[in-house]
Chain A
Amino acid sequence: MGSEDEQKYAAFMEKVKRTMYLDNISPQVTDAVIKTAFEQYGTVTNIHFIPNYIEPNYSGKCALVELENEKQAKSIIEVLSSYPFMMSGMPRPVRGRHAEPEMFDDCPPKPGRKIQVFWVDPKDPQFEVAQKLKNLTKKHVAEQSFLQKKQLEEEEKLSKQQAETLKGHYEKFEMMDSILCDGTSKRLSRFYGVNLNDD
């Protein structure tokens, strides 16, 4: 039993090394998209989208992508961190990093561990401290969800700002396009004496 556990654990850790954790993935991305996206870097053996039950998820989907070997995983992560990589949507780039064992929900137990639990009743001296710890935990969780909200606000702000800029660019290009097409530019060039052709 001992060595089997250890073997399982070792195999699991090996899998962790080959896997990358991606987030900021657009909701429209599917398995097929991820596979084709990375096929230039290596073969994807397994994709697992992490379901998020607990909190409302605004920062895109998260996925654990398993590759053939560690080297491929490393090279993809390098690419993802040096260049902004777009998947099915722009311009928010996909982020990736090495997977950690705690990200897997089917993590086998570390061999040789045992669980200890004990009760602390109100009359015990440590009860107060234990209660304090519990309250601290609750406070921390509240802090985390607050930060998550704030982060979402920032993201939305940036998105709006970029939408504005993009609209501006688009209108500019449209205008340029239209004057080139309908002859206004030719008239203007004659008026100002500017030569339109490149000679």
Chain B
Amino acid sequence: MSQLMEENLETFKWGIKMVTDDSEIKSYKSFRYQGVQYSLHDCVYLYREGAKDTDIGKLVKMWESKAGAKRGRVIWFFRPADVCNFIREYEPSWNELFLASGEGRGVSNIIPLEAIVGKCNVVCTAKDRRNTLLSKSDLAKANYYVFHIFDVGDLRISDKFPDIIDKIKVERLFNWSQNNPKGNLECRTGLSAGSQLKVAENPTNTAEKPTKIEILHASENFEIRDKPKANVECRNDPSANALLKVKEKPTYTAEKHIKAEVLSVHANLEHHTLEAPPLKKRKILPETDFPSPSQDTRRWFFALSWEDKLKEAHEQGTVIHLYNLDLSHTALDVQEMISKAFKVKAHAKIMPRRHSFDIYGHALVIFESKDDADLIMCLLKDRCLVVGEGRPLVACKATLNEPYMTRNFPGHLIMDKLKHKFNNNKRKAVFASHCAQANTIEHEMAMQWRMLQKRSDLWWEALFKGQAKEFSDCQSQMMKDRTDELNRTAVEVTFAHESSDAPNRRVERPPAIKSDEPNITAVEVTSVPESPVERPQSASHPTLL
């Protein structure tokens, strides 16, 4: 029993020998070490002294040197952490690796075979015609997957695999039959032993592969990687009602693509609104012949700049701070809203958003007189002015600070004594903006600030996400109530001459008016053209787009 264990720990046994010209170096196709069978083109974990994590490489050659040393050549896979500095835009998955390629150091190395600590299951999910895609279960069993190469010369990732990596044909590096080592050996010449395997080396075989699986894999792969990217782009453009649309069609595109979608969706919605009959029994104020605010304000406030206006207005008490605006509203929108709702003139300016996830838009509005301002404050408090998709405006008297003053900016340390000394002895050192170098004291401190900045980002994000959720829950509740009410009134209008069986009627109408799909009703009935789905609301809304 103990003998077996000993054997397991220290045994190295060569397997099948390869026929080569070199008589001194004996190359092999496989070997057995510590009880595990390794073959050519297997992926292995390698132990490097001092490294925190094992390296992963693909064995491309194994041999025994004249002196009897057992050597192997591996082509490396990079972990995301190794290359994160060079791939800013791409967010790799936790189990993704990058195959090294190109000319230069770092592509492959000769290693002693005793450094191998285990076998690793790495699959290649690249959509290369030379690569065979594996089944779902194979993918699930894999430890890691490879989709990109990392070129050590260009220091970039790419999903185009070159023909040769380190003098090895790239076909050999693609998916091999991980579960049939024997088949592995014969595969090299293009035969695939083991008929249940879908793997083949010969490019012509891949053409016969069922394309369905390829597409399935492709879409799965895209989903795995694209989700974070799609979300980021959507967050930046909250009024892009293509939020849900983009999720269904993830692509690596730039903003332009999403913009094009947004514009086209807007065009669709415009069309919708033209068809919807205007509802009479609603509390929406009809479009007045009021002179458009933009023209007016130009005449009105021509002379003063915004800052002066604001100062003056603050003294007089005519400034109101509105919040809970939708982030896509502009100053002109706000002015229009005010004129529609209150029939007064105002001059508004939007406060730009300071944090990425904040859902509240702020604006400062200057009214002509204090009475106007006071009246509007009262009105907004007693009743609710709801804008667009359910944002009741909240107002408060603005308390303004000096715009550019920043008090006690923590983090700037000045050494007076130091300055003195240098001024005496040397010429005045001019302070230039620079990047802190790694071996200085300031670098260490800068890193501490960096960490604090990152932490603060995280806690702001957490807060805003929580707030956004609370808000959207409440908002959807409100809109649901509202559309229920509108249903009732709409039914009354259209079926006025019939019996007053309003609730029943509602049920009989086309499915669009079920109470759990309020938004469709919203489009037809309320003719709301602007971004109907800004917030990540519940799943009952997708059909709107």
B392 contacts A134, C-beta separation under 8 Å:
yes
Which of A87, A152, A162, A163 has a CB less than 8 Å from the CB of B433?
Answer: A87
CB distance from B293 to the nearest CB of A (A): 11
A143 contacts B467, C-beta separation under 8 Å:
yes
28 contacts between A and B (CB under 8 A): A57-B407, A60-B409, A82-B85, A84-B446, A86-B434, A86-B435, A92-B449, A100-B353, A101-B237, A102-B238, A102-B353, A111-B266, A116-B388, A116-B530, A119-B341, A121-B283, A126-B478, A126-B482, A133-B391, A133-B471, A133-B478, A140-B471, A144-B463, A147-B460, A154-B452, A156-B410, A159-B412, A169-B441
A165–B401 alpha-carbon span in the complex (Å):
34
Secondary structure of the B contact surface, majority rule? mixed
A119–B383 alpha-carbon span in the complex (Å):
7
A59–B406 alpha-carbon span in the complex (Å):
7
A24 interface residue (CB < 8 Å to B): yes
A40–B488 alpha-carbon span in the complex (Å):
65
B481 contacts A126, C-beta separation under 8 Å:
yes
Other than the given A84-B435, A117-B337, 7 more pairs (CB < 8 A) read A88-B433, A91-B446, A107-B350, A111-B263, A117-B284, A137-B392, A162-B413
Pairs A-B, 5 closest by C-beta atoms? A92-B411, A51-B403, A84-B446, A37-B433, A91-B445
A11 interface residue (CB < 8 Å to B): no
Q: Which of B341, B398, B408 has the most CB of A within 10 A?
A: B408
A155 contacts B459, C-beta separation under 8 Å:
no
Q: Assuming A58-B409, A84-B446, A92-B449, is B433 touching A49 (CB within 8 A)?
A: no
Q: Assuming A58-B410, A61-B404, A112-B270, is B445 touching A121 (CB within 8 A)?
A: no
A26 interface residue (CB < 8 Å to B): yes
Q: Which of B285, B323, B409 has the most CB of A within 10 A?
A: B409
- Contact-residue size bin, chain A (C-beta under 8 Å from the other chain): 35 or more
Q: Give the size of the chain B interface in residues (CB under 8 angstroms).
A: 110
Q: Assuming A85-B435, A169-B441, is B398 touching A115 (CB within 8 A)?
A: no
Interface residues of B (CB under 8 A from A): 85, 88, 236-239, 255, 259, 263, 266-267, 269-270, 273, 282-285, 307, 310, 321, 323-324, 327-333, 336-337, 340-341, 349-354, 356, 358, 360-362, 364, 382-388, 390-392, 394, 398, 400-401, 403-413, 415, 417-418, 431-436, 441-443, 445-450, 452-453, 456, 459-460, 463, 467, 470-471, 474-475, 477-478, 481-482, 485, 526, 528-531
